[in-house]
Amino acid sequence: MPRIAAIDCGTNSIRLLVADVTVHDDGHTSLRDVHREMRVVRLGEGVDATGRLADAALARTRAALVDYTAICRRKGAERARMVATSATRDASNRDDFFAMTRDVLGVEAEVISGDEEARLSFTGAVGDLDPDDGPFLVTDIGGGSTEVVAGTWDGTRANVTGALSVDIGCVRITERCLRGDPPSADEVAAGRQLAEQTLDKAFEAVPIGGTRTWVGVAGTITTLSAVAQELPAYDSELTHLSRLPDEAIGRVTERLLAASHDERAAIGSMHPGRVDVIGGGALITQVLAEKIASAAGVTELLVSEHDILDGIALSLL
């Protein structure tokens, strides 16, 4: 039973999973969490406007990675894989980032393509679901991009039938459109238009007509679940495999977009690093819900705490 480590460095957050892997007699693999952690470092702050990673953002990411490296060593991880996504794909000074990760972690960080990012997210998201609930549609809203992936799961391996990553995420839509506190009606309308136009590309490329279950992963989705449940504090056991009907997504989105920074920060389940961008992430989720209902007739979101981190870990086998 090897112990492995997966690190996902996105536009908004950097996350670590240390897990033990079991390969069962039927070939099915499962993960047992040893340590799972997320820190908001906002690596992609300003990248959309400047085209480069800010020095302060690199410093925040390095500090988190130093701690993660120590955890991996302390927990006895035998192998590690680190992937970097949207922010580093777009940055002119990406070499500074890679030099930093080599120096701290001792392994090369990989800039994966949007399509591979989507496939890893799908594998992680459906791994503990009933295959009979498929075909599945998995959406992963990050800071700079959103992945849309369709496929099936037979209990052992995933079969991806379509995948595309598009350049819309909670940080990107906030920086481009939602500048007010709270954003104005015109800003929200502009954000909605941007999300609709960008997501149209994904739904033109990914066949979703036969979808039976829509699965949402990553911090925007899990936070929306916690807010909808009115949890006094974030609790992953209560968000994992919770369900959000489209009406609930709409209510929470309207609430977050109408709230000021201080009102969002006062929500007990809100991570401080998501306060500034959760409205944008909610708006993207609402647009996704409308498009999925129209194309596939699915009107409920299944929330999963298992995502690309789990997919990265499984890819080490």
Predicted pLDDT of residue 45: 86
How is 3-71 classified by DSSP, letter by letter?
EEEEEEE-SSEEEEEEEEEEE-TTS-EEEEEEEEEEEE--TTTTHHHHSS--HHHHHHHHHHHHHHHHH
Domain at 3-111, CATH homologous superfamily: ATPase, nucleotide binding domain (3.30.420.40)
User: Cα–Cα distance between 14 and 88 in angstroms, integer?
Assistant: 13
Angle at which helices 246-258 and 278-296 pack, to 10 degrees?
Answer: 150
Share of the chain above pLDDT 70, in %: 97
HEC letters along 230-273: CCCCCCHHHHCCCEEEHHHHHHHHHHHHHCCHHHHHCCCCCCHH
Choose the weakest-confidence range: 17-26, 66-75, 181-190.
17-26
C-alpha distances in angstroms, 221 versus 200, 252, 266? 20, 11, 19
* Average pLDDT of the segment spanning 27-46: 85
Residues 6+ apart with CB under 8 A from 230: none
- The strand pairing partners of 295, in sequence order, are none
The amino acid at 244: L
DSSP code for 156: S
Band the pLDDT of 24: cuts 50, 70, 90: low
Band the pLDDT of 123: cuts 50, 70, 90: confident
Band the pLDDT of 89: cuts 50, 70, 90: confident
Predicted pLDDT of residue 54: 92
Domain span(s) for CATH 3.30.420.40 in the chain: 3-111
pLDDT digits (tens, 9 = 90+) for 271-310: 998 999 999 999 999 999 999 999 999 999 999 998 889 9
Predicted pLDDT of residue 273: 86
Find the helix or strand (DSSP H, E) in which 185 lies.
Answer: helix 185-205
Predicted pLDDT of residue 18: 97
Tokens of 13: 């957050």
Per DSSP, helices labelled H in 106-167 are 114-126
Band the pLDDT of 10: cuts 50, 70, 90: confident
CATH topology for 128-308 is Nucleotidyltransferase; domain 5 (3.30.420)
Could you tell me if residue 27 is left (phi over 0), alpha (psi between -120 and 50 degrees) or otherwise beta? left
Domain span(s) for CATH 3.30.420.150 in the chain: 128-308
pLDDT digits (tens, 9 = 90+) for 216-258: 998 899 999 999 999 999 999 999 999 999 999 999 999 999 9
User: Cα–Cα distance between 59 and 260 in angstroms, integer?
Assistant: 29
Predicted pLDDT of residue 28: 66
Predicted pLDDT of residue 177: 96
Q: Please, are residues 139 and 146 in contact by the beta-carbon 8 Å criterion?
A: yes
Hey, which of 11-25, 27-41, 82-96, 227-241 has the most confident mean pLDDT?
227-241
DSSP code for 217: E
pLDDT digits (tens, 9 = 90+) for 152-186: 988 777 889 999 889 899 999 999 999 999 999 99
Helices (H) and strands (E) in the chain, counts: 13, 11
User: Cα–Cα distance between 178 and 238 in angstroms, integer?
Assistant: 30
Higher per-residue pLDDT: 134 or 121: 134
Band the pLDDT of 267: cuts 50, 70, 90: very high
User: Cα–Cα distance between 41 and 84 in angstroms, integer?
Assistant: 13
Q: Is the pLDDT of residue 115 over 80?
A: no
Predicted pLDDT of residue 141: 93
Q: Is the pLDDT of residue 26 over 70?
A: no
Which one, of 278, 259, 266, lies nearest residue 233 by Cα? 266
Share of the chain above pLDDT 90, in %: 71
